[in-house]
């Protein structure tokens, strides 16, 4: 999805993933995959496997950084994949082939994992290799109808003139993480001046399949779902039922203390897509139309649309595998915006500098 977001102006020279489902999906969607895709553990790679490139992108598994997970941090078994990636970057640097721009994408929990120590360690690793860096918190909701905040750490050895300044993506969490950095790392910090995008003009209902094309829960299951709602959420449903029009809400089941609750939102956004194995229930849709309330599960294709993927994007045959692929991904339009406003100007500055020489 990062590749699709970067767009046709970029050529993918190398890609790697350990997961066989995601690997098969990548091959199905990119005809050139056999020439550059390597399935397997990032720790099994070495610098000789990698080409020289303008950009390296790392989206390591987020479970160890997630606020919903065990928060093992960079020492965790999954997010420690970052160190496999970083070993390769250091080796390329030693050969004089380090990418001038690096993007590291992860969940917002990266900023506070182990009281900020993991983020400091990440910044320290970048600084030790001569990179300056900054971070942006970009929510996919700015571009697509899904609440999906993610942190994008952008590091570079290139000139940054004209690219620094204030940004709506300097969230409170970003500002606090930067403030916690030790003094020696402050000299490497960049406040990237990424502008705000135009207002989003789509909502959740626009992403959905026609009612007749999907399977709906039986009425008793919908009633059981409604029974799990706290009074405020049930009132929100009843208000829309009594209004008589059509309303679409996204529902998650969550544990609140010792009690399971169903929570619904009618703000035009889906909740953050997650993988079926990510510790949360699969997202449910609640559709109220003409006083009738129905419910069903979100489909993988609808999830793909919420990630900004075109309908031509080939998904695995099973719903579970499809949701695994999209739930583990990065929102395509967020990447495109980052590329247009920051990554491409950085790389073009390198090209202009070489031309001047």
Catalytically active residues are 62
Question: Distance of CA 113 to CAs 75, 177, 198, 279, Å?
Answer: 11, 10, 32, 18
Torsion of CA 247, 207, 271, 85, to 10 degrees: 180
> What is the distance between the terminal CA atoms of the chain, rounded to a whole angstrom?
35
Which are the contacts of 14, defined by CB distance < 8 A and separation ≥ 6?
Answer: 36, 38, 49, 50, 51, 53
Burial class of residue 144 (count of CB atoms within 10 Å of its CB; 0-12, 13-18, 19+): buried
Nearest to 177 by CA among 130, 131, 133, 128: 133
Report yes or no: 323 and 275 within 8 Å, Cβ to Cβ. Answer: yes
Report yes or no: 289 and 196 within 8 Å, Cβ to Cβ. Answer: no
In DSSP terms, 88 is beta-bridged to none
Distance between CA atoms of 344 and 8, rounded to whole angstroms? 12
Task: Looking at the chain, list the stretches that DSSP marks H as alpha helix, in order from N- to C-terminal side.
Answer: 2-6, 20-29, 33-36, 81-94, 117-128, 172-180, 183-186, 219-227, 231-243, 300-306, 319-327, 332-338, 344-356
């Amino acid at each position: 999805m990062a590749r699709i977001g970067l767009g046709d102006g970029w050529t993918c020279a190398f890609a790697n993933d350990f997961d066989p489902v995601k690997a098969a999906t990548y091959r199905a969607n990119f005809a050139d995959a056999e020439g550059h895709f390597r399935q397997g553990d990032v720790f099994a790679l070495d610098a000789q496997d990698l080409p020289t490139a303008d950009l390296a992108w790392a989206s390591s598994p987020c479970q160890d950084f997630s606020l919903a997970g065990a928060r093992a941090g960079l020492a965790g078994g999954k997010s420690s994949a970052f160190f496999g990636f970083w070993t390769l970057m250091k080796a390329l640097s030693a050969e004089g082939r380090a990418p001038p721009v690096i993007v590291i994408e992860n969940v917002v929990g990266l900023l506070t994992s182990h009281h900020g120590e993991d983020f400091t360690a990440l910044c320290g690793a970048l600084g030790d290799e001569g990179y300056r860096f900054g971070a942006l918190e970009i929510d996919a909701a700015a571009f697509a109808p899904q609440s999906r905040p993610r942190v994008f750490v952008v590091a570079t050895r290139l000139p940054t003139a004209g690219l620094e300044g204030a940004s709506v993506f300097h969230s409170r969490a970003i500002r606090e993480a930067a403030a916690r950095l030790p003094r020696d790392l402050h000299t490497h910090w960049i406040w990237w001046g990424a502008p705000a995008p135009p207002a989003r003009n789509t909502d959740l209902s626009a992403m959905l399949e026609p009612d007749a094309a999907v399977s709906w829960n039986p009425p008793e299951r919908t009633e059981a779902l409604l029974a799990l709602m706290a009074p405020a959420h049930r009132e929100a449903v009843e208000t829309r039922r009594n209004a008589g029009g059509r309303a679409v809400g996204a529902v998650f089941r969550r544990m609140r203390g010792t009690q399971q609750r169903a929570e619904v939102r009618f703000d035009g956004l889906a909740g953050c897509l997650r993988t079926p194995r990510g510790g949360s229930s699969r997202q449910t849709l609640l559709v109220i139309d003409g006083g009738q309330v129905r419910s069903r599960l979100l489909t993988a294709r609808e999830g793909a649309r919420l990630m900004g993927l075109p309908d031509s994007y080939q998904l695995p045959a099973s719903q579970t595998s499809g949701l695994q692929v999209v739930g583990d991904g990065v929102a395509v339009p967020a990447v495109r915006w980052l590329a247009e406003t920051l990554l491409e100007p950085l790389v073009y500055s390198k090209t202009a500098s070489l031309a001047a020489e």
